[in-house]
Amino acid sequence: MATISPVPFLQFVDANGDPLAGGKLYTYVAGTTTPLATYTTYAGTVSNANPVILDSAGRASVWLGAGSYKFVLKDSTDVLVYTTDNIVNAGLGAMQPAVVATAGQTVFTVLPYTMGGSAMVAVNGLTEEYNVAYTETNNTTITFVSPGLSVGDRVTVRSI
């Protein structure tokens, strides 16, 4: 069975922050150029094409199977954007319901989780970096760096 990597849709952007429309995500066995399948759903029964072609918003549904991955991201004309190696399918825990932000909101109350690196926080599907984009105030409160988020931004937390 497959698990998610790390949210239902991965979204990629270019150096200007614009969606990487038509971009290509190649997936390999970590440390190699041997293709490694990702999947279209949780069931892990239908493989994505390799490369995974991103939609007009730079998104794709990418579920990981067993093993460690290397992701190679290219734009629609095959120019390398970046490579990330040793992505481990950690068997992540349950994702909490999304919290929708108001303008400039910095403090979010979420369901309890174990503090100290036991949560993955994402805004609009993009993973945020702990102690850079946000901090943990306690086991139910996440505080984002000022000036905060935009109206409608979706914050999700997943226990890891």
The pLDDT of residue 3 is above 60: no
**Pairwise CA distance, residues 61 & 78, whole Å:** 20
Lowest model confidence (mean pLDDT) among 47-51, 81-85, 100-104, 122-126:
122-126
* pTM of full prediction above 0.85: no
In whole angstroms, give the CA distance from residue 58 to residue 10. 8
Q: What rounded mean pLDDT belongs to the chain? A: 81
How far is the CA of 104 from the CAs of 9, 95, 110, 113, in angstroms? 25, 24, 18, 24
- pLDDT at residue number 69: 86
Q: Residue 116's pLDDT is what?
A: 66
Cα 110 from Cα 87, distance rounded (Å): 26
Band of pLDDT at residue 54, cut at 50, 70 and 90: very high
Where residue 55 falls among pLDDT bands split at 50, 70, 90? very high
pLDDT range class, residue 24, cuts 50, 70, 90: very high
> Which of 55, 1, 45 lies closest to 25 in space, CA to CA?
55
* pLDDT at 21 (0 to 100): 95
Amino acid at 68: S
Tokens of 78: 């095959």
Torsion of CA 122, 23, 68, 32, to 10 degrees: -150
Residue 50's CB: how many other CB atoms inside 10 A? 14
